Amino acid sequence: MHDPATVTLILSCLIGQAQQVAAPEMAEDTAPTWHGDVGPIIRTHCAECHDGRGPGPFKLTDHDDVAPRALFIKHVLQQDIMPPWLPSVNGPEFRNKRGLSAEELALIERWIDAGTPLGARHDLGDSDPGDDAREDVVIDEAVESLNASMRSPWEVPAEGGTRWFKAERDKRTFVMPLASPEPLRIRTISYRSTAPIVVGATALAADSTGNARRMVDWDQEPGSYMMGDIGFVPAGSLGVVGPGGGTLRIPDGYHLSIPAGSELVSEVHFRPQGRPWTLNDSIELVQVPDGEVSRALVALNVMQRKIELDPDERKSFTSELTIPQSVDLVALTPRASRRCVSLAVVRIRDGVPPESLLQIDDWNPHYRRTYVLETPIRLDVDDRIEVTWRYDNSEANPRNPVVPAEPVSLGARVGSANILLMCAPVDPTGTKDLQDFALEEMRRRQR
């Protein structure tokens, strides 16, 4: 289970402790060093994106990359800007969390204050992370992985402009043929982008109706400017991976379902970078091994169909869903545009104070992803899940794409803002009922 970076970190902590025991009078004024302590932390938390190939604008893998930017890095860490992680501490723990612990942050600060000492290279504390720094997929040799790719490359334009921002067209939807005659039980999804520096969050879905292909074929260029929602299947119902690509791992005991004959649909969000980039992305899927028992996840959609705002208007939207049968909540996927500034998902039960399931105080759709709970949460029949999105259509919202503000009128069948609750029925025979319920709830909100 331990990836090499974690092992390195653990070993270097143990060595640090051993040194303290051996020379306690030295421990007080011994500053942390790059080779001893800081390098492994930076590589674990930063190099995934800042490795020269990922979405980060510069490398942060070696002392030479980090030391010249030390004060900038300190500022960015103290302001909690990096590593990008949206959920607030007011809520449950997530598995794919990427923030630094208070101890790690304090250590990096001490290292920067001490003038970024390099320290002695020793065999255990430092090694080239190579590919290990990226969110690598641990593929069980016995399980075959499946691949799907874009049918043809598409060039991400160098600049935004009218065409880009008119209807917030900073996204494009592509179809990736998969054509499995059998339904698939998926445990791991890895998204590989050829242009990680421009690519933000990517929302995935499966389409077994052929409608996604009809939609993209209607467009002159590869892909489509339409959203990745296909009928009542919301983009993201197969998960959202973070900027530049990455891996979504579903915990053991659960899986994502892909119907037989489906194609994959990816709604890619991007940010122009002043030069064109060629997008020719692919997806790797790892299945649950044959014979292993696992429960299907169903996406329950808590949605706000319409978002209407006057210029400079600030407004909250609240939507609710009542849980129809006992389920285990495994992950949550939020969606809202850049005019949304914060959101909160709360569970409400009789006689118990409301419980936070996800709270994001500074919403930034570029960094959204599927948040996988450290431990699934059992939701009972009649629990109410209430979601509140706060919108700010003024200049005070730094992400408002149109300044001075213009009226906003958004509408989407599966929600202009939504939260997908990835749930597995406690009783696996309830899966079909839960799917029917999810669909009926979305239909009901159209009326």
Q: Which residues of 101-127 are buried (b: 16+ CB within 10 A; e: fewer)?
A: eeebbebbeebbeeebbebeeeeebbe
Q: Does 365 bind ligand HEC (CB under 6 A)?
A: no
Mark 60-79 with x for binding to ligand HEC (rule: CB under 6 A) and - for no binding.
Answer: x--------x--xx--xx--
Report residue 147 CA to chain centroid gap. 20
Q: How many residues bind ligand HEC (CB under 6 A)?
A: 21
Residues from 257 through 296 that contact ligand HEC (CB under 6 A): none
Only one of the segments 26-34, 41-49, 139-147, 231-239 lies at the binding site for ligand HEC (rule: CB under 6 A); that segment is 41-49
Q: Does 83 bind ligand HEC (CB under 6 A)?
A: yes
Radius of gyration of the chain (CA): 23
Inter-residue contact 329 to 376 (CB < 8 Å):
yes
Q: Does 338 bind ligand HEC (CB under 6 A)?
A: no
Inter-residue contact 269 to 201 (CB < 8 Å):
yes
Residues from 241 through 260 that contact ligand HEC (CB under 6 A): 242-243
Residue 444 burial (C-beta neighbours within 10 Å; 0-12, 13-18, 19+): exposed
Looking at the Cβ atoms of 262 and 397, the one nearer to ligand HEC is: 397
Q: Does 48 bind ligand HEC (CB under 6 A)?
A: yes
How many C-beta atoms surround the C-beta of residue 310 within 10 A?
Answer: 12
Cβ at position 259, least distance to ligand HEC in Å: 31
Q: Does 55 bind ligand HEC (CB under 6 A)?
A: yes
Cβ at position 82, least distance to ligand HEC in Å: 3
Whole-Å CA distances, 148 to 8, 19, 226, 282: 34, 50, 21, 6
Residue 204 identity (one-letter amino acid):
L
Residue 285 burial (C-beta neighbours within 10 Å; 0-12, 13-18, 19+): buried
Cβ at position 191, least distance to ligand HEC in Å: 13
Residues from 96 through 135 that contact ligand HEC (CB under 6 A): 98, 100
For ligand HEC, which residue of 43, 45, 172, 347 counts as binding (CB under 6 A)? 45
Q: Does 57 bind ligand HEC (CB under 6 A)?
A: yes
User: Where on the chain is the footprint of ligand HEC (CB under 6 A)?
Assistant: 45-46, 48-50, 55-57, 60, 69, 72-73, 76-77, 82-84, 98, 100, 242-243
